[in-house]
Structure formats: C-alpha cells, structure tokens
A and B are shown apart, each in its own frame.
Chain A
Amino acid sequence: MQWMKFRPLFFLISGIGLCLSLYSILTWGLRPSIDFTGGTAIEYKFTSETSPDLLKTILQVKAKDYEYKDITALSDANIQLRFGPELSQERAEVLTALIAEAFPERPELVRFETIGPVLSKEILEKTYIALAMAGLGILLWVALQFKSFKLGITAILAVVHDLIILLGVFAYLGWARGVEIDVLFVTAFLTVFALSLYDTIVVYDRIRESSRKFNGMGVKFVADRAITDTIVRSFNTSVTTGIVLFALVLLGASSIKWFALALLVGLISGTYSSPFVAVPLLVTWEEVKNRLKQRK
C-alpha cells in the first residue's frame, strides 16, 4: 500500500487539526485549577439541580463579603466555588451555613482544598521542569537508539502535534464545561507524551529493520512497508486500550472522567500521528535533503 502517496492528505488533516486546536487555545485559553493558581476550591453537592447563577444571586444577598473568583457547575447538582486568597475552614463552614439557609435541604460540602501560593508556584515550576526533562531525555534516547537526529526530531514533532491537539480539546472543554487543568491533567499530558512516543518508536523500529532488508529501495518504499506492517498492531492496541478508557469516560465519576478523556484523546491522536505525521515528515525531509544534494 503506497501510503506515502497520500502525504498531502495527511498533512492537510493534521494541519486542520492543529489550526483548530491553536484557535481554541488562543481564544479560550486553559483554565488552571488551584493546583497552579493557589487559593481555595469548595465543592458543594446540592440535593437537586441547581444553577451557578442561582448560587451567585444567593451569595450576593447572603454572603457579600465572601469574594469568590468564580463559580462553575461541575454537574447538574455539583457546583464549585473558587476563592483567590486562601479561605480558612472556619470561614468555609460559615459560608456553608449561610448558603444552607437558602435551600430547603442543606447542601453537602464534598470537597475543600486549599493551596498556599508558595506551593502552587512550586507545582507549576516542577511541572515545566518535568516536561522539559522528559522532552530532552526522549530526544536523546531516540537519537542514541536509532543513531539519527532526524528520527528524534520527527518523533518529537509528532508528539508536539498530539500535545497541541490535546490542549486544544481541553481549552474548548474549559470554556464549554468549565473543565480545569490540574496536576492530574499534567499527568495525563505526560502520559500522552509517552504513549505517542511508544507508538512512534514501534514504527521507526520497523523502518530500521526494513531499510536493512530492502537496502537501496528508497525511503518511500521502506516507509510504506513499515507502515503496512505495523498498522494492524497499532490499531489493535489502540482499540483494546481505547475500550477500557472509553468505559471510564462514560461510567467513571467526574474527576477521573476528564483524566480518562485526556488519555483517550491522546491515544487516538498518538496512534494517528505515528504513521501519518512522523513518517511522512521523515520521508519528506529525506527527499528534500536528497534533492538539495543533487543540486550540488
């Protein structure tokens, strides 16, 4: 199957995906959770459907001196209040009592999280560092294993492609459903990094083997063979992991749902990017290099 013939199509699909994601990120931005901004998050579970606007009005009337940063509905009956500076637990309880006065049945305070500003800054920094280290480490490892920087860079490009799409999806979700970026998301982010790379390495491994076997047949042929050989396995693996993740997204409760979704998005784009982003980039690079050599 002559996959490389369809390169323009693959680049087009990826291009559209990237554009949409970048648009999403630039327009809506990412919503950081208190893990990164510091402050306090309180989640109330009401006994019946309650809207954030209703809660807003109640707070304006009953609890004016509680300056909250935002109110988000996590589900029909769960609402989260975010406070910029830290709120002590005593004040939180007073607030709960005030809110409870407005409802026939007392809402339940299901989650109370406070993070000081020093700690949250620390978490953010550590995350950046972990990302940088992972990126560099992988680049070096691939370059070492496959003895070619070309492979390392195209692999990283494919991973970056996946990560941008993941961020794009979550920028949209942040705007549409109030989904926040927390440390858990960062974990998913790093995992998608690993998964996408895992997949790409399997294909590259095959290319390395095929180029030894079919020495002299040209990059395009070798790449086509490698993809044909690995595509079935890629697909099967993604389906099996995807089934489990999909089940989690549907049935899992709220905090793990978005985590599973992030992993699922990463899985799909990672599986796509290995044969259809990394390899085309590699082949095109090779072709351009050869053409430049010929001109000399």
Chain B
Amino acid sequence: MKKPLRRIIFIFLLVFAALFAALPRHIPVKLQYYNFSFERSFDFPSIDFQWGQFSFKRDLELHLGLDIAGGSHLVFEADMSKLPQEDFDAAIEGVRNTIERRVNLFGVSEAQVQTIKTDNSYRVAADLPGLKNTKEAIALVGQTASLEFYEFVSAQAEESTNGALAWEIAPTNLTGADLKRARVEFDPNTGEPAVGLQFNEEGAKKFQEITKRNVGKPLAMFIDGEPIDKDRPPPVVQEEIAGGSAVISGSFTLEDAKKLAVQLNSGALPVPIKLIEQRTIEASLGSEFVSASVLAGFVGLSGVLLFMLLYYGRLGIIASLVLVFYGLFTVALYKLIPVVLTLPGIAGFILSLGMAVDSNILIFERMKEELRAGKPWIDSMEAGFGRAWDSIRDANIATLLIVFILLNPMNFDFLHTSGPVRGFALTLGIGVLMSLFTGVFVSRTLMRIFLKGNK
C-alpha cells in the first residue's frame, strides 16, 4: 500500500528532525574498560537561518524557568496618571525597553522582560535568571532617572517668604535625552568616582549655549527632581564649553557612579514605576528539584512502559514506541517555540503523558472488544480506532477548554496574566495536542504497517 508507506516515511523524517532538535547540543561520551578508553564529545549545531529580511534563529537549548535555574522574578506597575490615554502603549513599551537595557547593562544574560497589559493596569514583568543581587537590580531598574539641568537666575541668594535663603533656578532645555553616552570616570585630582557625560550633537550645542550664558554662575543638575549632590554646592561654569563633554562629580561611591551611568545610558523611564511583586529563588534549591524530579520522571516512565508491555503484549510495544516518539516531539517543540520550562510546566508534561497513554489504551480496549466479537484483525483495528476516537475527542476537548481558561491567551483582565498557572496550561495544552497526533495518527500508521495479519 502506498499511502501508509508515505506516512511512515513522513513519521521517520519527523522523528529524525525531532531527535536533532531535542538532543542536548553538547554530549560528552566517555567509556572506560580496563586499558581501553574512549572519549569524545558530540556537538550539534543550533539553527541560524537567514533569507533576506527573514531570519530564524534558535539556539535549541532547553530554556529553564526561574524556579529551576534560580533567580528573580520582578513585576513593576507603571504609574500612568500623568499621561493621556493614547500615550499609554508607547509609554509601557518604553518602560519595557529601558528596563531590559538596564538589566542587560547590569550583566544579567537571558533576561526576559515582558509587558503585561490589561484593561486597567500596565505592568512589566522581568525574569532574571541567576541574579544574585536582587536589591541592587531593583534599585537600578526602579528609578526613573530623569536628568535635568537648571541654571541660576541670579547669582545671589535671595530671601524667600519663610525667611530661608533660596536661589531661584530655571529649567533649561538640556535633559538626559540629549546624552550620547555616560561613563564612569575618576576625577584626576581627587581620584573620586564621577560620571562623565558626552552629549549628542544637539545636546552639545545646547550645552554650549547654556555654559556661554552662565559663565561665572553655578549650574545645577537634578536627577528625578532632586539635586545630584545635596552636600556640595553646584559646580560653577568656568567658561563656555564646546564639544559637549561634562563631568558630574559629587560624593559618589563607585557603585553609585556605576548605577547612575547605567541609568543615564539606558535612558530615563518614561513614567515612574513601582515594584509590586518580587520572588527570589536560590539556584541551589532549583537544581535539587531538577535532579529529583527528572529521576522521578524516568522511574515513572519506565513503570508505564513496563506495564504496557506486560498487559498488552505486542500492542504494548507499539504503544511504548509511540510514547517515546511523543516525548521526543514534545521536547523538540519546547526547544523550537521555545517554551520556558518551569516545574509546573514539567508537571503539565507528565500529565499529558498520562493522557497520551490513555488514548492508546482506549483504542486497544476497543480493539479487544471487536476481536472478542469475532471480527478479523484488520477490521478490529480500524473499528477500534474509529469508535475510540469519539471518546478521545470529547474528553480531550473538555481538557482543552480548561487549558484555554488557564492559559488566557487573549490576556483578559479577569483571568491570570502571568505566572506558573500559564506555564502549566501551556505544556498541558501542547501535550494534549501532541498526544492526539501521536496517539491517533502515529499509532494507526505504525500498526497498519507492522502488525498486518498477525493473530
């Protein structure tokens, strides 16, 4: 028969593709037998495909979630109260980009920063794997960091209404947006840390004008509405400065200087943000989980395979093979999408494994019934699939309905918008769909080819 043959080829192509995607990129092999030793490692490439504008890149590594790899999960809420409605989307994107830049500059690789938009809240969630210094990261990320320059209206202090001495200052048009780059520098005289500023072309021009106007007068720099250094008087402009370089010196520690440089470089946050959720998990806790749970998974899986073989005999072999394929396809899919794997995600995978086995069992039981009724093998097989399909379809749709509610793909406000629930729903959903594919299509094809006319 031509048709099943084509299908078998298709299936085996899939299996090889899945194998390529699913196996770890680097596999060390080490064999030792008395004097004979064999050591070699196999490396598989990742996917890097470019065609004109279109590029497709996958590193084909398993992305582990925070609860496995350890790290921090932070959620910030943006305060949109001072913005008009139509600017909200742009603002939250700006926040997201700035946070991502800051996090990267801070040194966290593989950070995932996402916006979570619902009808009445605009948030940004940042997953920072391997982050040790959460406190510093939050301070770095959370600050708006708007830089402004103020010039003094008069060089003399004037008495204000309550009797204290105050200087009148006026804002200039020079802000942090005119910066090209900020860098930590060390004052050549005192060796103290300072932040060197390099303005862009327009900023340099503005700066030149301002310094020209204010020779002999102090120039105040404010960050987030507060003077940079309250302890020292603001620097006095010595001369007109062209070329757009300036140095902010104050009583900075090295950390402060670095932080300020990062914040200025990443740009100010368009709106202020507030931390509303923080979860920090140590990696040590995570890796313990992984090894124990993977072991549990293997033990469980072997138990299942054994059971299928014992109870269903030859059919059990097919079922076991299908199960292995199922696992392979699913892991490959996790690497291709990619799906960030969390512990509840793993649980979702395991559950869907159970359901995959179940579809096979449903089919087998139906087949046994047909055989008992005296029908020939092939008819029993086809009838088994046909009748079992109704139950399989109904039951799986019910599960998919629940997955849909938990997954909340439309980001409805009244359902979960982030977190472990969605991770679980995602893997369960992928699992259900994949089990429908392998349990029905793959099983049927394999059985048609390999079990013709037996019994």
Contact = CB atoms under 8 A, between A and B. Distances in A.
Interface of A: 45, 89-90, 93, 108-116, 118-119, 123, 125-127, 129-130, 133-134, 137-138, 141-142, 145, 183-184, 186-187, 190-191, 193-195, 197-199, 201-202, 205-206, 209, 229, 232-233, 236-237, 239-241, 243-248, 250-253, 255-256, 259-260, 263
B350 A244 contact: yes
Interface in B103-134: 134
A259 B344 contact: yes
Interface of B: 67, 75, 134-135, 138, 276-282, 284-285, 288-289, 292-293, 295-297, 299-301, 303-304, 307-308, 311, 343-344, 346-347, 350-351, 353-355, 357-358, 361-362, 365, 369, 387, 390-391, 394-399, 401-403, 405-406, 414-417, 419-421, 424-425, 428
Nearest to A237: B358
Nearest to B343: A256
B442 to A, nearest CB: 18
Contacts of A237: 354, 357-358, 361
Contact of A243 (B282, B300, B397): B300
A187 B420 contact: yes
Contact of A145 (B292, B394, B415): B394
A187 B424 contact: yes
A193 B292 CA distance: 27
B296 A130 contact: no
A137 B301 CA distance: 33
Contacts of B304: 240, 243-244
A205 to B, nearest CB: 5
Contact of B347 (A118, A134, A233, A256): A256
A198 B395 contact: yes
Given A243-B307, A247-B299, A251-B292, A111 B282 contact: yes
A190 B406 contact: yes
A201 B391 contact: yes
A236 B311 contact: yes
Contacts of A250: 296
A179 B393 CA distance: 36
Nearest to B300: A244
Contacts of B396: 198
B135 A233 contact: no
A93 B133 CA distance: 12
A206 B307 CA distance: 25
Contacts of B421: 183-184, 186-187
Given A93-B135, A236-B307, A240-B358, 15 more contacts: A114-B277, A118-B276, A119-B277, A134-B405, A183-B420, A186-B421, A191-B428, A194-B402, A198-B396, A205-B390, A241-B357, A241-B358, A251-B299, A253-B293, A260-B347
B427 to A, nearest CB: 11
B300 A246 contact: yes
22 contacts: A93-B135, A113-B280, A116-B276, A119-B276, A123-B416, A129-B415, A130-B415, A190-B405, A194-B402, A198-B398, A202-B395, A205-B394, A209-B387, A237-B354, A241-B358, A244-B350, A247-B299, A250-B296, A251-B292, A253-B289, A256-B293, A263-B347
Given A109-B282, A111-B282, A183-B419, A247 B303 contact: yes
B282 A130 contact: no
Is the contact region of chain B dominated by helix, strand, or loop, or is it mixed? helix
A206 B391 CA distance: 8
A240 B308 contact: yes
A118 B284 CA distance: 31
A83 to B, nearest CB: 13
B300 A141 contact: no
Nearest to A205: B391
Contacts of A202: 362, 391, 394-395
Q: Which 10 A-B pairs have the closest CB atoms?
A: A241-B354, A244-B300, A247-B300, A251-B296, A243-B303, A237-B358, A247-B296, A198-B395, A194-B402, A116-B276
B268 to A, nearest CB: 24
A138 B398 contact: yes
Nearest to B304: A240
Given A119-B75, A251-B296, A241 B405 contact: no
A193 B351 CA distance: 13
Given A141-B401, A202-B395, A244-B354, A113 B406 contact: no
Given A244-B304, A247-B297, A252-B293, A198 B311 contact: no
Contact of A248 (B296, B357, B405, B428): B296
A253 B288 contact: yes
Contacts of A145: 394
Given A202-B362, A256-B293, A111 B280 contact: yes
A236 B303 CA distance: 12
B398 A201 contact: yes
B293 A251 contact: yes
